[in-house]
Amino acid sequence: MTWTTRRIATNGVELDVIDAGTPGDPVVVLAHGFPESSYSWRHQIEPLVAAGYRVLVPDQRGYGASSAPTDVAAYRSDHLAADLVGLVDDVGADDALFVGHDWGSMVVWDLSRLHPDRVRGLVNVSVPYTAWPARPTDLFRALIGDRFFYILYFQAVGPAETELEADVAETLRLTLWGGSGEMFGPPPDPLPPIDGTGFLDSITRGAPVPDGVPTWMTADDLTTYTEQFTASGFFGPLSWYRNLDADYEITTDLPPPSVPCAFIGGTRDGVIAARLDTLDEGHADLPEYRGSILINGAGHWTQQERPTEFNAALLELLARVS
């Protein structure tokens, strides 16, 4: 199967988008997280097309060669959601199925609240729906105190960019190892102090990192990611985190998602590992929640680490929410 990569103008930006499948088939939009790109969905595109879907996979704003605004506020979730809706408009569809991973899940959760009429259904991965009771950074500061937490570290423009861009290949290699099922482990107790701690220190939890790349990826995969983040830098991707409070403000008065939705997670994903038994209970306020599937042994990079199991789960859940 040949994939077409198109440059699509949407919502005031231009995104590089993989477009695969037959026009007129139900549209599925795959939304990546951090630090990823459309490439993170490389194992899903052909199975989805074979199952009868038209698949759109963008490098979202700030990533790869897609537009990268220089204003932090340009990365609010309402802008990111509108970017994805514009892709659906571009192919002439009334609605789409949306699948998000990591930060992409957070964007898709918000999209389903901001534009419910454009969402046929959604399947999110790794990040469950979260109804924040207050500004997220205030909650993190109250919980973490004077200890290091990467999301708070990302809030200031400059320090994180300097750290992550110093050696892009090593940044990505360590991050992919650190979030993988192969290096899964509990967070250090106590957490490291704010002073003198960087993101890469925290992501590997002080554990020795093996040479090379995890078994579920290749050296060529790492080269692809490195080329993309060398081109984009980290300001755009990190600015998604800098809008957590703004995203809370623009969505706090909206009702929870009311569209058909479901969830996929890995049992060794640090985002959810402590609440595996309560994932479905945590989605109880969503009136059209259709359940979850957990993939044993998968870490945070769920669709890349266990593509065969993930694809089976995704196709089952897309059928439930369609």
Please report the pLDDT score of residue 219 as a whole number: 98
Query: Do 111 and 259 belong to one domain?
Result: yes
Whether residues 66 and 205 fall in one domain: no
pLDDT digits (tens, 9 = 90+) for 187-207: 888 889 999 999 998 988 878
Instruction: Kindly state the average pLDDT of the residues 150-154.
Output: 97
Percent of the chain with pLDDT over 90: 94
SS3 279: helix
Whether the pLDDT of residue 185 is over 90: the answer is no
Dist CA 248 CA 275 (whole Å) = 23
241, 265, 288: which is the final residue of a domain?
Answer: 241
Residue 74 DSSP label: G
C-alpha Rg value of the chain to the nearest Å: 18
Give the model confidence (pLDDT) of 219-262 as tens digits.
999 999 999 999 999 999 999 999 999 999 999 999 999 999 99
- What is the total count of domains within the chain? 2
**In a shared domain, residues 281 and 224:** no
The band of 37, judged by pLDDT with boundaries at 50, 70 and 90, is: very high
Return d(Cα 69, Cα 237) in angstroms, integer: 11
How is residue 257 annotated by DSSP? P
> Would the CA dihedral through 197, 203, 205, 210 be positive or negative?
negative
Mean pLDDT across the stretch 48-66?
A: 98
When pLDDT is averaged across residues 44-62 and rounded to a whole number, the result is 98
Cβ neighbors of 116 (< 8 A, separation 6 or more) are: 257, 258, 259
CB atoms within 10 A of CB 211: 5
Supply φ then ψ for residue 18, to 5 degrees.
-75, 130
Q: What pLDDT, on a 0 to 100 scale, did the predictor assign at position 137?
A: 98
pLDDT for 199: 95
* Active centre residues (catalytic): 102, 300
Listed residues 193, 210, 241: the one ending a domain: 241
Domain of residue 118, residue span: 4-134+245-321
pLDDT of 171: 98
The answer to whether residues 99 and 155 belong to one domain is no
User: Same domain, yes or no, for 144 and 53?
Assistant: no
Closest CA to 263 of 224, 302, 219, 213: 302
- Candidates 77, 72, 78, 79; CA nearest to 13 is 79
Q: Is 111 left (phi over 0), alpha (psi -120 to 50) or beta?
A: alpha
Q: What integer pLDDT is reported at residue 1 of this predicted model?
A: 61
CATH code where residue 35 lies: 3.40.50.1820
Judge if 257 and 113 occupy the same domain: yes
Strand partners of residue 228: none
Q: What is the largest CA-CA distance in the chain?
A: 54
Q: According to DSSP H, which parts of 185-276 are helical?
A: 199-203, 219-232, 235-241, 244-251
pLDDT at 115: 98
* Residue 160, pLDDT above cutoff 80: yes
Residues 26 and 103 in one domain: yes
Residue 3 has pLDDT above 90, yes or no: no
The pLDDT, as a whole number, for residue 52 is 97
Q: What is the mean pLDDT of residues 288-316?
A: 98
Q: Do both 14 and 93 map to the same domain? A: yes
Q: Answer left, alpha or beta for residue 227, where phi above 0 means left and psi between -120 and 50 means alpha.
A: alpha
Which of 241, 271, 287 corresponds to the end of one domain?
A: 241
Q: Are both 28 and 119 inside the same structural domain?
A: yes
Of 52-66, 162-176, 202-216, give the lowest mean pLDDT range: 202-216
For strands 13-20 and 54-58, give the pairing.
antiparallel
> Position of tokens 């994939």?
3
Average pLDDT, the chain: 96
> Tens of pLDDT along 128-141?
999 999 999 999 99
**Beta carbons within 8 Å of 277's beta carbon, 6+ residues apart:** none
48 and 113: one domain?
yes
Query: Same domain, yes or no, for 162 and 20?
Result: no
d(CA 17, CA 229) in angstroms, rounded, equals 17
Mark whether 194 and 263 lie in a shared domain.
Answer: no
